[in-house]
Amino acid sequence: MTEDHALHLRHRPRRLRRSAAIRALVCEARLTAADLIWPIFLRDGENLAEPVPSMPGVNRLSIDRAVDAAREAAGLGIPAMCLFPYTDPKLKTDACEEAWNPDNLSNQAIRAIKAAVPDIAVMTDVALDPYNANGHDGIVRGGIVVNDESVAALVRMALAQAEAGADILGPSDMMDGRIGQMRDALEATGHTDVAIMSYAAKYASAYYGPFRDAVGASGALKGDKKTYQMDPGNGAEALAMIARDLDEGADMVMVKPGLPYLDICRRVHETFQVPTFAYQVSGEYAMIEAAAANGWIDGEKIMIESLTSFKRAGCAGILTYFAPRAARLLAETG
Ligand code: PBG
């Protein structure tokens, strides 16, 4: 640089970017393994890890392998896992009775994981879609997803999960009034310490496609979920849903999907002083994996960058299929 070009700037923000040490010192939001919740898919059988084609790197695990995964998660410092069952189509009915069977796949897995790895928090999914002959999250009568009867079924399902030892219930159904009913039922049955992470702002999203393959609901689903999940154009409504679910007794709230709804994460975090989580859903995962597999992006870097963005937006944590890979990478790179 010649004298002619010297600017004598007082502010040179680049001073704080000039070395890795100084960048580390001033970094605002950093991802750690403790921010991650690992969603896994369950299937019946033994010693099985069956790949989900639309989610490369993700498998449906038999319970013994899910217990191995829980050990792996604990070893990596991941505090929680979330269980999603792939249910045998023969067990799917219109009344969804399998949802509250104390010995269904999910409840068996809760017990097995809590027995083997008691320190890991086990979160569940409370919705009827894995057990429903028509793929919906609630009970269908005459082509309509009926609210109150669905809530009664969901409460039974939630209690069975609490009974099995779940630490966190994750109602993802978007029926009206379910949080209050579940909270009352938990209190009445002595499950006073079971937490609820409400899928409070859950959008009717095409990003759930690969998940529906993973749990075997794609073929079953008739129509769409727009009469209960939210319109992607709505933001104020998300805040109203969060306020309602907190009022009804939710301990934590979730925004879902994640990256396309980062503005909602931010608004929820700023408006309510409660732990706010984002779900980086199956379609988000699949898009990153597909582009990475083509060599179009650096998958590992995008994984960390996308997860870090949730922390920057104010999220307490993230549900992500990348959880073990991200935790491993963070452990390696420090
Ligand atoms: C079902 C449920 C869905 C997801 C979590 N719970 C799918 C849906 O609402 O259709 C999606 C998760 C993902 O896409 O990764 N109630």
Beta-carbon contacts of 260 under 8 Å, excluding residues fewer than 6 positions away, are 205, 207, 232, 284
**Phi, psi torsion values for 318, nearest 5 degrees:** -140, 130
Residue type (1 letter), 204: A
- In a domain, residue 19? The reply is no
How many other CB atoms are found less than 10 A from the CB of residue 181?
A: 20
Pocket residue to mutate for ligand 1, from 208, 215, 280, most atoms within 8 A of Cβ: 208
pLDDT of residue 179: 98
pLDDT of residue 152: 98
Instruction: Choose, from 92, 114, 225, 256, the residue flagged as catalytic.
Output: 256
Instruction: Choose, from 92, 114, 202, 311, the residue flagged as catalytic.
Output: 202
Query: Residues 228, 201: contact at Cβ < 8 Å?
Result: no
Q: Give, in order, the Cα–Cα distances in Å from 296 to each of 250, 293, 303, 320.
A: 41, 8, 14, 21
For the stretch 279-329, pLDDT in tens is 999 999 999 999 999 999 999 999 999 999 999 999 999 999 999 999 999
pLDDT of residue 216: 82
Tell me which residue has its CA closest to atom 11 in ligand 1.
208
Interval between CA 19 and ligand 1 midpoint (Å): 42
Strands 121-123 and 36-42: unpaired
- In a domain, residue 24? The reply is no
Interval between CA 173 and ligand 1 midpoint (Å): 9
Is 282 a pocket residue for ligand 1 (Cβ < 6 Å)? yes
- Cα 124 from Cα 35, distance rounded (Å): 17
List, as one string, the DSSP characters of 92-141: -BSS-GGGG-TTSHHHHHHHHHHHH-TTSEEE--B-SGGGBTT--SS-EE
Q: Give the residue from 145, 164, 142 showing the smallest Cα distance to 153.
A: 145
Whether 202 is catalytic is yes
Is 208 a pocket residue for ligand 1 (Cβ < 6 Å)? yes
List, as one string, the DSSP characters of 207-231: GGHHHHHHTT-TTT--S-STTTSBP
Is 172 a pocket residue for ligand 1 (Cβ < 6 Å)? yes
For residue 291, the enclosing domain spans: 30-333
Where in 142-299 does DSSP place strands (E)? 144-145, 168-169, 195-202, 252-256, 276-280
Is 281 a pocket residue for ligand 1 (Cβ < 6 Å)? yes
User: How far does Cα 4 stand from its chain's mean position?
Assistant: 56
- In a domain, residue 105? The reply is yes
At 203, which CATH number?
3.20.20.70
Q: Give, in order, the Cα–Cα distances in Å from 230 to each of 135, 219, 225, 271.
A: 18, 22, 9, 19
pTM exceeds 0.85: yes
Q: Which residues of the chain have pLDDT under 70?
A: 1-3, 334
- In a domain, residue 220? The reply is yes
pLDDT of residue 251: 98
- In a domain, residue 14? The reply is no
pLDDT of residue 314: 98
Interval between CA 256 and ligand 1 midpoint (Å): 9
Torsion sign across C-alpha atoms 109, 110, 115, 117: positive
- In a domain, residue 16? The reply is no
Whether 90 is catalytic is no
Count of structural domains within the chain: 1
Q: Give the residue from 270, 274, 271, 235 showing the smallest Cα distance to 254.
A: 274
CA 127 to ligand 1: nearest atom: 16
- In a domain, residue 92? The reply is yes
pLDDT of residue 218: 77
For the stretch 76-106, pLDDT in tens is 999 999 999 999 999 999 999 999 999 999 9
Is 212 a pocket residue for ligand 1 (Cβ < 6 Å)? yes
Tell me which residue has its CA closest to atom 5 in ligand 1.
172
Is 211 a pocket residue for ligand 1 (Cβ < 6 Å)? yes
CA 39 to ligand 1: nearest atom: 15
User: How far does Cα 116 stand from its chain's mean position?
Assistant: 23
pLDDT of residue 1: 53
